[in-house]
Amino acid sequence: MTDKTILAAVEAEYERRRTADREEETRRLRKAVDECPEIAELRAVQQSLVRAAVQAVLHEGDSARVSREMAETRDKIAALLEANGHPRDWLEPVYQCAVCRDTGFTWDPPRVPCACRSLLQRRIALSTVGIQTDGETFVGYRTDIFPDDQVIPGLNVTQRAEMRLVRDRLAAWTAAAPAEGQHTVLLQGPSGLGKTYLLRCIANAFAERGIPCVLTRAYALVEAARKRVFSENDAEWEAFLGADILLIDDLGSEPLFQNITIEHLYELIETRQLAGRTTVVSTNLSQDDLRARYTERIASRLTARSSCLIVSLSGEDVRRRR
């Protein structure tokens, strides 16, 4: 998406929200009046008092009296709403963001973008590059698909037992993240061991807790970097940098473009680690392969045990058993 189309989508979303706000206000008023017709009469009084307030200001009238009557009328409506099981402010204007009142900007001078606008831009920018999950969960994670007849050399456990340990370890980490523990996770091992499935389990576990995250492929990161360099469209790249939780699948499968791939990957990892943002990476590459492909600077930031959780998978490709 270009910056122009992202901005257009943002404005369209705010217009949709304002329309939804008005519809909700209308629905509430109709329900309140159906339950208590006296509210309609008091609302009419409110409108006449607003006009009286304007006249009082323009012609130096008794503005204090008008203000007092407005407060009394508001209290009567609030009491009737409460008596019918609604909050006292139920007929006040409805906003999804009370800070900017669904305009995307605050006016506590100067005019500046609201925090909700930045989040919306980030979500829209990433909407075309994320991987869709299909309800994968740690609870539904099946370890019976892994062989249980041979012990993995050097581990003294079968592949099924190892994957059970991996599942439990990642589930425990996800339950504590992002506030606790390591903020960078490296999930590595050969193809066919279910790394992508585990990433989706992590993504859905965060979603169940109401924590937004982005699951994308390494290839999409490079495409976002290329757009930034060649078309000066940095919306997607900035969104990857700023995502609270970023899950990158299949690092090592993306093309290596000179002066783009390695430089941008270093910026991404370094920026996110310095900001304390959570990043989960899956790869088929070993730690030696990471160093050879991406340089020591990048590999060390993905494999430092003081700040990174490294989860290694081993065994045979289960797709060959089907």
Whether residue 237 is contained in a domain is answered as yes
Whether residue 35 is contained in a domain is answered as no
The answer, yes or no, to whether residue 155 has pLDDT greater than 90, is no
User: Residue 255: is the preceding peptide bond cis (ω within 30°)?
Assistant: no
- Per-residue confidence (pLDDT) for residue 133, from 0 to 100: 65
CA distance 276 to 305: 16
Whether residue 282 is contained in a domain is answered as yes
Q: Percent helix, strand, coil in the chain (nearest 5)?
A: 55, 10, 35
Overall domain count for the chain:
1
Whether residue 292 is contained in a domain is answered as yes
Encode pLDDT of 36-84 as tens digits: 999 999 989 888 888 887 777 676 667 788 788 889 999 999 999 999 9
Work out the angle between the directed axes of helices 3-35 and 38-59 (0-180°, nearest 10): 120
CA distance 188 to 290: 10
Whether residue 3 is contained in a domain is answered as no
What separation in angstroms does the CA of 177 have from each of 31, 95, 173, 211, 275?
Answer: 43, 31, 6, 10, 15
The answer, yes or no, to whether residue 177 has pLDDT greater than 70, is yes
pLDDT band at residue 278 using 50, 70 and 90 as cut-offs: very high
CB–CB of 305/179 below 8 Å?
A: no
Token pair in block for residue 56: 């009082």
pLDDT band at residue 149 using 50, 70 and 90 as cut-offs: confident
Read off the CATH number of the domain in which 191 is found: 3.40.50.300
Per the structure, the complete domain to which residue 284 belongs is given by: 129-321
Q: What are phi and psi of 105, to 5 degrees?
A: -140, 150
Whether residue 90 is contained in a domain is answered as no
Whether residue 70 is contained in a domain is answered as no
pLDDT band at residue 130 using 50, 70 and 90 as cut-offs: low
Q: What percent of the chain shows pLDDT beyond 90?
A: 45
Q: Which H or E run includes 6?
A: helix 3-35
Going by C-alpha positions, the residue among 81, 11, 4 that lies closest to residue 39 is: 81
- Per-residue confidence (pLDDT) for residue 132, from 0 to 100: 61
Q: What are phi and psi of 79, to 5 degrees?
A: -65, -40
Whether residue 44 is contained in a domain is answered as no
Residues in the chain: 322
